[in-house]
Structure 1
Amino acid sequence: MTARDASAPYGRVPLRRVCVVMMSAVGDAVHVLPLLTALKALDPAPHVTWVLQPGPATLVRGHPAVDDIVLFDRSAGARGFLDVRRELRARGPFDVCINLQVYFKAGLITGFVPADVKLGFDRARARDFNWAFTNAKVPPHPMQHVQDQYFEFLDALGVPHGPPVWDLGPWPEERPWQREFFAQLDRPAAAIVVATSKAQKDWLPERWAAVCDALHADYGLQPVLVGGRSERELAAEAVIMREARHKPVSALGSGLRKLVAILDGSALVLSPDTGPLHMTVALDRPVVSLIAYSNPKRVGPYRKFRDLMIDAYGDPGEDYPISMENRHDRMPNITVAQVLEKVERWRTHYADGAEG
């Protein structure tokens, strides 16, 4: 068996069957994957069950590190919780439950998991009484990047890990669609994530239109709009299509697995703080990130492409601490010129190896 660190706080906990509770957004799901790939590197590898919502489930279903998924349908109200409890009881018992989400609903789900050890964040970082549902805690630690915070759980369990391994794809059966998609374009693609789940994270669509024109005319790139088909995304698409002289290709509503293929095959990605940003980092594709609402020291691109990040969260010269504080109404501070400055840096530092 692969050695684990017996000196770690919970390094002697058996890891034959593991349940992971992280039900939230796509970006969080991406950050979970390196934990699972590290667990799967153990010998023998544990069986991993993951409780998460239907949206991110479409991204990770079929991943080699995910053996089983229990869906939590938040829209179902109390019935959604009861369904999860029934499914977890049918799959248990587990050796350990890893609760990566710090809110009450995740605590309630953790309470349903039939496991002797329920490992969560220390009391200072857990919110909404989430700490009350766990009987083991990772040691207290100052706030750090989300990915590093998740690695604390591996450290507590004595699981060895190096740099993150995502294995996000595209998977072999997805390559034919990817080739077909890019065969339609007459130039390398620049994928643009038009909107997010929070209006405060969105950039102005008329500025995206100006960026589209510059990408096409000055950089020889074909802008491709990506994301879902929410009301706000469709509204942004309409503005961009109306304002841009060089019309982008719209791939809104492609679904998360096809989005993986699009991001992977793009020469460049431009994105605000949202799941596709972290998907792009996991795929090791250059990404210009626009961050102003959330603390980029906590949620920015992890250890890659920081030189392509536009930080409008802090004021010029401000050495702000890492925190969960959100700052409102700062995305309009990002200018088209700033974005194109980062695109120019991409051209001089990344473009030679960036075409998909």
Structure 2
Amino acid sequence: MSGRPEGRRVCLVLLTGLGDVVHGLPIANALKDSGYARHLTWVAEPMPASILAHHPSVDDLVEYRRRDGVAGVRALRTALAARRRADGPFDLTINLNVYFKSVWPVLFSGARHRLGFDRGRAKDGIWLATNDMVPPRPRAHTQDMFLEFLAHLGVPHHAPHAPEDWRITFSDAERAAQAAWMAERTGRPIAAIVPASANARKDWPAERWARVADALHADFGYEVALVGGPGGRETAIAREVAERATVPVTWAMGDGVRRVAWILERSALVLAPDTGPLHIARALGVPVIGLFGHTNPWRVGPYRAWQELWVDAYTEAGTEPDPSRFDPPADDRMQTITVDQVVERIGRARSPNGGGR
């Protein structure tokens, strides 16, 4: 059922996580730039939905409060029904998720053409909610898998590489807040450490982050900022990093996604495990030192950028990277990453041919 549906009112279903939603932005851009989508509605969960604010390719945003259970499902049905009554039916729904939670927005969209992943990559029987699927392929980097949908629809596109391909956009008020925050800085380039993710198995010990913070400040001349959301666990980890570090550390924890994004934009270097802010930094063109042991950086790392700065403890020594692998290793490989490895990557980033600014 590939081809251009009449009317081109498109519903894009990409609920979470934050990194996946960032990877969806080039898809929205291509749909709008090509004229394929006259109007684009995006359905997302509240936290990652915030990165879509002010985005030039997103005409309408529907938040699905999945954590509200049945009440959230009912509210979603009401919201999508209201869109259909006001603006007419959706011609196409694109489901970029692979889990069951995406079934409800796909069905409630009421679109005649419902496109999703093939049965080999879709889980929980969600392919039953679609009537068109992209051709079967091995799993690949998330960004590349999303680009398959454009190819299937015949939408012109290219692999994103620069910030304009993601177009994360800030309001005038956010620009003013960013400028005020920068006016309080030391004048050193900022190295932003994102010390924790949503999954403890992706994290690196706080004591090692503290030693890296010391090196960033004392040996490389950075101002170190701890950046992240308001979650209790990540805040506790960041607090331990700040307490163990022997150098001044700027506290930028507890912020929403929007503020995290504009802080990252003004950073010279970002250091992080596999977490959403890593992908925001990539989309903003900020060099990233990514630490990977639990997840495969060739599938979920910064898209086609700064591989020389990654610390890849996921890929077994002596083997070729394989982006189709998604199974976590049995052992805790984040623990095998050393401070010296990360400091060596900082040196690469600061070299004339490195990624640091």
TM-score, normalised to structure 1, is: 0.93
Q: How far apart, CA to CA, are the structure 2 residues paired with 1:295 and 1:22?
A: 21
Does the aligned pair in 2 maintain the 1:312–1:333 contact within 8 Å?
yes
CA separation in 1, counterparts of 2:292 and 2:256? Answer: 24
Look up the equivalent residue of 1:188 and give its one-letter code: P
Partner of 2:9: 17
Write the deviation string for residues 144-166 of structure 1: whole angstroms up to 9, x where unpaired.
11001001111111110123210
Matched, 1:57 2:53: no
CA distance in 2, matches of 1:231, 1:277: 20
Cα deviation, 1:201-260, whole Å, max 9, x if unaligned, reads 111111000000000000000110001121211111221121110031010122211111
Root mean square deviation of aligned Cα: 1.6
Q: Aligned equivalents of 2:230 and 2:303: distance in 1?
A: 27
Q: Aligned partners of 1:111, 1:138: CA distance in 2, in Å?
A: 18
**What do residues 12-33 of structure 1 show as CA deviations (whole Å, max 9, x unaligned)?**
3336200011111110110000
Alpha-carbon contact 1:19-1:94 (below 8 Å) kept: yes
CA contact (8 A) 1:169 1:283 kept: no
Which residue of 49, 66, 70 maps to 2:62? 70
User: Whole-Å Cα distance in 1 between the matches of residues 137 and 182 of structure 2?
Assistant: 45
Q: 1:270 to 1:342 in 2, by over 3 A?
A: same
Aligned to 2:343: 340
CA distance in 2, matches of 1:265, 1:171: 15
Moved more, 291-300 or 334-343: 291-300
Between 102-111 and 285-294, report the one with greater CA deviation.
Answer: 102-111
CA distance in 1, matches of 2:37, 2:316: 47
User: How far 1:301 sits from its partner (Å)?
Assistant: 1.0
C-alpha contact (below 8 Å) 1:286/1:350 kept by paired residues: no
Amino acid at match of 2:63: L
Match of 1:229 in 2: 230
SS in 1 for 2:124: coil
Q: Please show how residues 142-157 of structure 1 align to structure 2 within 5 Å.
A: 142-157=138-153
2:90 counterpart (88, 91, 94): 94
Identity of aligned residues (%): 46
In the alignment, the residues of structure 2 paired with residue 38 and residue 15 of structure 1 have an alpha-carbon distance, to the nearest angstrom, of 17
Deviation at 1:108, TM superposition (A): 2.9
Matching of residues 179-194 of structure 1 within 5 Å: 179-186=179-186, 187-194=188-195
Q: 1:15 to 1:270 in 2, by over 3 A?
A: farther
Secondary structure of residue in 1 paired with 2:112: strand
Aligned length: 346
Question: Which amino acid in the other structure matches residue 127 of structure 2?
Answer: W
Distance 2:26 2:242 in 1: 37
Partners of 2:10 and 2:37 within 8 A in 1: no
Q: Which residue of 2 aligns with 1:83?
A: 75
Secondary structure, in 3 states, of the residue corresponding to 1:162? coil
Match status 1:324 vs 2:326: yes
Aligned to 2:119: 123
- Matches of residues 253-272 of structure 1 in structure 2 within 5 Å? 253-272=254-273
Q: How does 1:153-164 map to 2 (within 5 A)?
A: 153-164=149-160
Given that 2:230 and 2:256 are in contact with CA atoms closer than 8 Å, whether structure 1 keeps it comes out as: no
Q: What 5-or-longer segments of structure 2 have no aligned partner?
A: none
Cα 1:320/1:308, change in 2 over 3 Å: closer
Q: Could you list the per-position Cα deviations for residues 266-325 of structure 1 after superposition, in whole angstroms to 9, with x for gaps in the alignment?
A: 111101101011101100111100011112111011011111111011222223532221
What secondary structure is seen at the aligned counterpart in 2 of 1:163?
coil
Residue identity opposite 1:121 in structure 2: F
Q: What is the CA distance between 1:171 and its match in structure 2?
A: 4.6
**Counterpart of 1:176?**
176
Cα distance in structure 1, aligned partners of 2:289 and 2:197: 15
Point out the more displaced range, 41-50 or 184-193: 41-50
Distance in structure 1 (CA, Å) of the matches to 2:277 and 2:7: 31
Sort the Cα spacing of 1:188 and 1:345 in 2 relative to 1 into closer, same or farther, 3 A: same
